[in-house]
Structure 1
Amino acid sequence: MQPFSKAKRCVSLFHRVFRFRASALLQQPLNHLSTDSTETETETTSSVPIDAGSSNRKPISLWPGMFHSPATYALWEARSTIFENPPQPNGNNAPSVPKTPSRSRTSIFYNFSSDHVLREQYRNPWNHIRMGKLVEDFDALAGTIAFKHCCNEDGTTRPLLLVTASVDKMVLTKPIHIDADFTIVGAVTWIGRSSMEIQLELTQSAKGNSNISNSPALVANFTFVARDSATGKAVAINQISPETKRERVLWEEAEQRNKLRKKRKEEEKHGESGDTARLNALLAEGRIFSDMPALANRDSILMKDTCLQNSFICQPQQRNIHGRIFGGFLMRRAFELAFSTAYAFAGAAPHFLEVDHVDFFKPVDVGNFLRLKSCVLYTELDNLAEPLVNVEVVAHVTKPELRSSEVSNRFYFTFGVDPEAIKNGLRIRHVVPATEEEARKVLERMDAES
């Protein structure tokens, strides 16, 4: 591999290639953004092009990092005012008046039908969409929306750290075609005191293709929290004022999810569920593997035998505007390891179905030694023609100097298996926990799915 010695020239070339369109001019002050002024069932957004090749380049020292997908690059360019108008540390931290969801609504347009270079960036070896990059873009867009909502009226922001706290389930409801255009659009839907929920939807353009409908193919809910940049404590943010009936429904749904999250945390504080019968049932087959391996079911495999892992040093090119590692980058790396784990387990290329709940427990900093460990938690074989593979990825921040290792993230993914491979005789094995800890983890995920 040749050394990356001419970063500015390479980035400039990369910068000129891609074209995106967004629903608002993020480079203008917030009071110039397009808004929805009428109460309608279907919200519309006016599209103003963001041309990643026409704007003036900022000095490299002012950019948060050079690790960007085409979409994240356009988003950084769009909110470049944060570098031109840095927040004042002693500024007023009081939140302003409530804002409508339309003030933060933003979209990215992917012109796959005619931009072959862009399409190549998102194509996987099987000529399908590379889901890891889309997950990365989702996080970047959610961060931009959070930034817009917290903007002051002059386009600057208070000195806040906006951090991804969690991601609720992302379900792929239909295939995303690599040769058709699509748009990701999102807005703030709910606000707590210092937290916000942002909903994103991916819709693919049909353009006469009978295999594509206009309904969303992927929906995700991101939760961000605001922290004071100096103290790290939670700070109040702008509240939200839903205008349309749909916005009020989305707010109520997000409020219910927030209550459910609090309820789950309370249950975790009160200890284990005590479901001994289910636990013993899960462990029964694992004990046979441990005590009588010659008699174990050959259609089953121990969970520990499905594991993969990788390690890497977090580089400065992967940082966000706060100097920490970009959450979308972590999600992409976790997805790619999960995909590899499902591929090695099934013996056929899997296809993505959903991301379950993702938790961000601790920030990941530049220079951290990060270890990603994955395993197949369990399989769903009720329908043998369409088996499901559930994969867990746990990220550990490891500090050799301090001899410490802490969990920073947990990711859960569900994959399907190629139906043609199943028809040709491929069988998916049952995954068996060998320890009580593994069994409890499986029960927890099954209950979460329910």
Structure 2
Amino acid sequence: MAFTRTLAALVQGGSRQRLMSISICPARNIISFNEPLRPKSMPEVMEALKSYVGYVGDVKGAHEKLPKTQEELPTRSMLDSYDECIIPVSTSLTTQKSHTSGQGFVRFGRILEDMDEFAVWLSYRHLQYPGLSFGVPMPVIIVTALVDSIHSEDMEIKPQHDLKLRGHISWVGKTSMEVTMELLALLPGQAKHLVNAKFVMVAMRANSSITVAVNKLLPRNEEEQTIFNEGAANVAQRKKFQASGILKQPPNHEERDLLHKLFLEDFDPETYILKSDECPAGAVWMSDARLTNVVICQPESENLYNKVFGGFLMRNAFELAWSTAYILSGRRPKTYHTADIWFRKPVELGSLLHYEAQVVYSRENFMQLNVNATVIKPDKGTKEITNVFHFTFCLDGNSPAPRVVPRSYPGKLECFVHDPFVRAESKHAQLASKHTLCLAAPALYNATGLPHFCLNLKAFS
């Protein structure tokens, strides 16, 4: 998604207050909807999902009714998938307790869970397969492939008013769908916009890893065409970035300049001796700016497909990232942006899931954190990364965040990948327009210096 301004341009232009007032997501990314509609509650959404899916069982016979090509399916509109859902953080004591933090704010991790569930629901509303009866479990599962972006300049929401999620399918490929959602606070007489979110969902055969064709999306008017074009641009931008990433191309001129600058910071010009063992005053080594946690994935976190619920994975990753930023800075972090959350593989129930949160960049009072989720199998002696998460936090107050200093070449690559000033001035800035501090590029290396997986975006065609 293209930003209206880059962070670099804002800093060059003046105050941080101007930065805090920008809008990263477009003002209009949800269709206009004025028809009477009774919003569902989250429990009602789950019950409705069960009517579409049930718990996945023997659906081999139903597989034969699935279309072979997308052309066999009827076209759908954005209105077909549009729906609304209430999160009663004010009027339901049960929801208020589960969604409110110890500081008295709505828990962003719980909102991630609600968004993930709602995105699955909207995806099923879009699907229409001839020959499959409503109420009979569909031989298709919807999985979250990517959280493209969730932006809010102030996620410190008090549970004084109920919240409402609304959204619809905004773009469709062959087997994937982009879901655009908006979170609103239901104030008396009006709805206040809080958050924009874009998820990428993929349709797959139940009990298999084979993708399934989804209905084409046909824009009905200029408004819907604009939204659809934006979704297509998002896909093109992701593919371009993957093709131009550090694992595919060497550092460019501006990136080499930054590497040299980082080298000089480790070099004593008087003695000609590297001082890599000395961390600059007021800074912290990148390798020390991290926290880890291990979670046992119990059946209570099960989704409809007998796997671990994706929202549960996101909530745990976010809370570890938030804690890391808090401990390192000593100031309470405010959620500013969430982006590029990749779901590489489903996580099985009973898995030992190791989370590692790493601060990879800081600038002014902003901190960028990456979290890796790895399934560990002690009996087999194996480890496999299943998810990667990226979060941007804004710290309380005006004093800068602790500076994070890389010690290794991979760490320095991480640093300039997340440096908005270098990326904005690069001749490749158009390809890297997403990668300001507010929406950083995917992490390329973990703390050991080993490259992460490189996900094939063709799966999201």
Query: Same fold, TM exceeding 0.5?
Result: yes
3-state DSSP class of the match of 2:314? helix
- Per-residue displacement from partner, 1:233-269 (whole Å, max 9, x unpaired)? 2221111122243222110000000111111222246
- Per-residue displacement from partner, 1:116-142 (whole Å, max 9, x unpaired)? 442222111111111110011111110
- Per-residue displacement from partner, 1:49-83 (whole Å, max 9, x unpaired)? 647xxxxxxxxxxxxxxxxxxx3x44221222122
Counterpart CA distance in 2 for 1:109 and 1:180 is 11
Q: Match for 2:382 among 401, 404, 409? A: 404
Check 1:318–1:444 CA distance in 2 against 1; reply closer, same or farther (3 A cut).
same
Which residue pairs with 2:401 in the alignment? Answer: 428
Which residue pairs with 2:142 in the alignment? Answer: 162
Gap runs ≥5 in structure 2? 1-29, 424-433, 437-461
Equivalence map 1:46-445=2 (5 Å): 46-48=36-38, 50=40, 71=42, 73-81=43-51, 82-83=53-54, 87=59, 88-94=61-67, 95=70, 96-152=73-129, 154-155=133-134, 156=136, 158-175=138-155, 176-207=157-188, 214-229=191-206, 231-268=208-245, 270-274=248-252, 275-285=255-265, 292=275, 296-381=279-364, 387-419=365-397, 422=398, 428-445=401-418
Check 1:292–1:90 CA distance in 2 against 1; reply closer, same or farther (3 A cut).
closer
Check 1:127–1:187 CA distance in 2 against 1; reply closer, same or farther (3 A cut).
same
Stretch moving more, 175-184 or 371-380: 175-184
**Residues 112 and 314 of structure 2 are in contact (CA less than 8 Å); yes or no, is this contact kept in structure 1?**
yes
Counterpart CA distance in 2 for 1:216 and 1:91 is 44
TM-score normalised per structure 1: 0.77
- Per-residue displacement from partner, 1:79-104 (whole Å, max 9, x unpaired)? 22122997543431115201111111
Check 1:91–1:85 CA distance in 2 against 1; reply closer, same or farther (3 A cut).
farther
Check 1:85–1:266 CA distance in 2 against 1; reply closer, same or farther (3 A cut).
closer
**Counterpart code for 1:254:** G
Stretch moving more, 101-110 or 329-338: 101-110
Q: Deviation at 1:286?
A: 5.6
Counterpart CA distance in 1 for 2:75 and 2:185 is 32
Counterpart CA distance in 1 for 2:151 and 2:116 is 15
**Residues 371 and 398 of structure 1 are in contact (CA less than 8 Å); yes or no, is this contact kept in structure 2?**
yes
**Counterpart code for 1:243:** R
Aligned length: 376
**Counterpart code for 2:48:** A
Q: Deviation at 1:109?
A: 1.1
- Per-residue displacement from partner, 1:173-197 (whole Å, max 9, x unpaired)? 3443321122111111111001110
Q: Deviation at 1:390?
A: 1.1
Check 1:349–1:185 CA distance in 2 against 1; reply closer, same or farther (3 A cut).
same
What RMSD in Å do the two structures reach over aligned CA positions? Answer: 2.6
Gap runs ≥5 in structure 1? 1-39, 52-70, 382-386
Determine what percentage of the aligned residue pairs are the same residue: 25
**Residues 135 and 331 of structure 1 are in contact (CA less than 8 Å); yes or no, is this contact kept in structure 2?**
yes
